Structure 1
Amino acid sequence: MQATTIDHSRRRWLGAIPALSGALLLAPGFARAQGSAYPHRPIELVVPWQAGGGADVVGRAFGAAIAKYLPQPVVVINKPGASGVLGLGDVVNAKPDGYRIVLSSTELTFLNHLGLAKFSYKDLRPIARLNADPAAVVVRADAPYATLEQFLEAARKGDANIRVGNAGHGSTWHMAAAALAEKTGAKFNHIPYAGGAPAVLALLGGHIDAVTVSTAEVSSYVAAGKLKALAVMADRRVADGFEKIPTLKERNIDLSIGIWRGLSAPRGTPDDVIAVLKGAVAKAVKEPAWLEALAKLHFSTDTYADDAALEAVMARESEFFKALAGKINLSS
């Protein structure tokens, strides 16, 4: 009798195993326990700009730095076009699982205000800001302008045709030049290029009269005496060769514009996935190789910000650029 009871109990237990197994497979964390914790395959980092540019170099340098703190590699995918709209939009519409993230930048806060994108910064979830640098107003060393005031005075003349290069229609540097014109009454002929670097090369070749790009993109040429910086669009003076260059605010022009680059994921990406990425990023930004890469490019090395701080920056900039977009005509 006892043996029969035990045998019957065993059969009931064995019969419950399939149901129990199914419940475990559905239980939170079971997949991670089985060795598929995030990330269990390579992470794609979309760079919305062309290969070889500043954003691309930053993306690849950071991909190498963060590899030490993730079990899977970060693979850079360039998706340039439309001042970042193509690459940013690609990740806005990606599956929110953490396997496709984007190297976001200042453009994310105003492309929608210009009517160039249907998405806004709210459609991506910030992970961290990696670096930030101000814009500079730069001319050739042999230009007839010794000061910013002389440059702006020339640009106020109706027939001056001052050609100012930028990183593409609707880019941060386009907005910077347009904002400077709006603030000062200057008139610029905006010339778009496929990035800040090509615009700088055009200036060196004498094809345009000035550029508004990051200090990092012109630092080596300024140091070599080939280009001349007239002002920086920052709240305070900039180091790395720009210590003697005045800010716009020192010239009574209340304008401060720069560019930041960070990491963002599709809105809806789970908190635990974001936590993994945030933790890895916080460690990677301290890597000597990463800091050396930034320094070599003359980028700032002390402007890291976490997700909450970056979201606050984006909210503030979105309001600023929304107001600016209503005042300026980017086609002129």
Structure 2
Amino acid sequence: MPTLASFRSPRPLLAVSLALGGLLATGATQAADYPVRPIELVVPYQAGGGADVMARGFAAAAVKHLPQPIVVVNKPGAAGVIGWNDVINAKPDGYRLALTTVEVTFLNQIGLAKFGWNDLTPIARLNADPAVVVVRTDAPWTTLEQFVAAAKKPDANVRVGNAGQGSMWHLAAAALADRTGASFNYIPYAGGAPAVLALLGGHVDAVTVSTPEVAAHIAAGKLRALGVMADRRVKGFETVPTLKERGIDLELGTWRGLAVPKGTPPEVIAVLKAATAKTMKEPSLRADMERLNFTVDTDLDSAAFEARMAQESAYIKDILSRVVLLQK
């Protein structure tokens, strides 16, 4: 015998199907029209540092390749955690991007973040720069050996500024201390730029930051670079020895990239990838990067970029097994 259910009208089901189809079509249309309003690029550090400079240069060059502008928004704090959390939790529609740096690969390893590097979807890596150990030109140390020897003395209080507790620049100094037996007093700031300003003002004795963040001050004769944490000498810093040349096996630095929240539509990601590839070829951007000593080291292949991050995360995990960055 036919049941009551068998006599129900199919119209409600048809209506639901049509509604769902309409929603899907609307979503596809929105992705196809992307972007229809300005895009926010969140920089998780204060203005003036390497990440901020890279982001603003990229945003300015991208105007030729996107119908809407990219607006840089600084959200500093907790070595990048505040800004990245903001993007991770944002609506995945392509209107909020993150300027990522190497810290995203290890903040969870030191208990500073609950997210990992794979909680964002990478678009591309824009550049990469090594860490450099820098002092004022009136400092008593003219070589890395002299600097390390001073930090080995009993009751030494060599103050080294960084971009925040748990940042790569904190890790760089701590790793140098681990490799050499030196002892530093780590002074955290809200980014590389404030740390450099503190050094210029005499509030710290040295900083470990990226080469672009100090290039202008070194050229002006205000600061002196003692060593770079790279496998070979760096353009613009040709007279500065690598740590490996000084018998210290240590390579550390940062990179800057673009990422979006997980779940961002593939069509939106495709638009961003295409625009990024074109933007990074802009002669004006590349000229500015070279003038500011930013190493042009792009990686537009997301899979390759993810593989690099996984590899880097493992390398830093090994360093962290010997270095304590945060108080337990």
Query: CA 1:74 to 1:186, structure 2 compared with 1: closer, same or farther past 3 Å?
Result: same
Per-residue deviation, 1:223: 2.0
Q: Match for residue 232 of structure 2? A: 236
Aligned positions of 1:39-188 closer than 5 A: 39-188=35-184
Per-residue deviation, 1:293: 3.0
Cα distance between partner residues in 2 of 1:188 and 1:23: 63
SS of residue matched to 1:303? strand
Q: Match for residue 282 of structure 2? A: 287
Of 312-321 and 108-117, more deviation after overlay is shown by: 312-321
SS of residue matched to 2:63? helix
Per-residue deviation, 1:109: 0.7
1:289-320 CA deviation, whole Å, 9 max, x = no partner? 322332343212x2111122321221111112
Per-residue deviation, 1:57: 2.3
* Kept in 2: contact 1:42–1:75 (CA 8 A): yes
1:11-50 CA deviation, whole Å, 9 max, x = no partner? xxxxxxx98x948953866765689622233222111112
Give the aligned residue type for 1:96.
P
1:82-130 CA deviation, whole Å, 9 max, x = no partner? 1110000111112222221100111101111110000010101110011
Cα distance between partner residues in 1 of 2:107 and 2:23: 42
Cα distance between partner residues in 1 of 2:27 and 2:81: 35
Cα distance between partner residues in 1 of 2:96 and 2:27: 20
SS of residue matched to 1:235? coil
Q: Match for residue 326 of structure 1? A: 321
Of 249-258 and 33-42, more deviation after overlay is shown by: 33-42
Per-residue deviation, 1:154: 1.3
Cα distance between partner residues in 1 of 2:113 and 2:30: 41
Q: Match for residue 241 of structure 2? A: 246
Matched, 1:271 2:269: no
Per-residue deviation, 1:185: 0.9
Q: Match for residue 311 of structure 2? A: 316
Matched, 1:305 2:299: yes
Cα distance between partner residues in 1 of 2:254 and 2:169: 9
Cα distance between partner residues in 1 of 2:32 and 2:90: 20
* Kept in 2: contact 1:31–1:37 (CA 8 A): no
Per-residue deviation, 1:272: 2.2
Give the aligned residue type for 1:277.
L
Cα distance between partner residues in 1 of 2:31 and 2:181: 62
Query: CA 1:184 to 1:63, structure 2 compared with 1: closer, same or farther past 3 Å?
Result: same
* Kept in 1: contact 2:135–2:199 (CA 8 A): yes
* Kept in 2: contact 1:107–1:172 (CA 8 A): yes
Per-residue deviation, 1:225: 2.3
Give the aligned residue type for 1:289.
S
Per-residue deviation, 1:71: 2.1
Cα distance between partner residues in 2 of 1:291 and 1:170: 31
* Kept in 2: contact 1:140–1:226 (CA 8 A): yes
SS of residue matched to 1:126? strand
TM-score, normalised by the number of residues in structure 1:
0.87
Of 302-311 and 85-94, more deviation after overlay is shown by: 302-311
Work out the percentage of aligned pairs sharing the same amino acid.
Answer: 63
1:164-205 CA deviation, whole Å, 9 max, x = no partner? 111111111111001111111110000111221222222222
Aligned positions of 1:182-201 closer than 5 A: 182-201=178-197
* Kept in 1: contact 2:49–2:213 (CA 8 A): no
SS of residue matched to 1:113? helix
* Kept in 2: contact 1:113–1:321 (CA 8 A): no
* Kept in 1: contact 2:46–2:193 (CA 8 A): no
Cα distance between partner residues in 1 of 2:125 and 2:26: 32
Larger Rg: 1
Unaligned runs of 5+ in 1: 1-17
Per-residue deviation, 1:262: 0.5
Query: CA 1:305 to 1:72, structure 2 compared with 1: closer, same or farther past 3 Å?
Result: same
SS of residue matched to 2:87? helix
1:216-266 CA deviation, whole Å, 9 max, x = no partner? 1111222222221111001110011x1021111111211111111110011
Q: Match for residue 261 of structure 1? A: 256
Query: CA 1:25 to 1:216, structure 2 compared with 1: closer, same or farther past 3 Å?
Result: same
Cα distance between partner residues in 1 of 2:59 and 2:142: 41
Query: CA 1:201 to 1:34, structure 2 compared with 1: closer, same or farther past 3 Å?
Result: closer
Of 50-59 and 61-70, more deviation after overlay is shown by: 50-59
* Kept in 2: contact 1:43–1:99 (CA 8 A): yes
Give the aligned residue type for 1:253.
I
Per-residue deviation, 1:137: 0.8
SS of residue matched to 1:135? strand
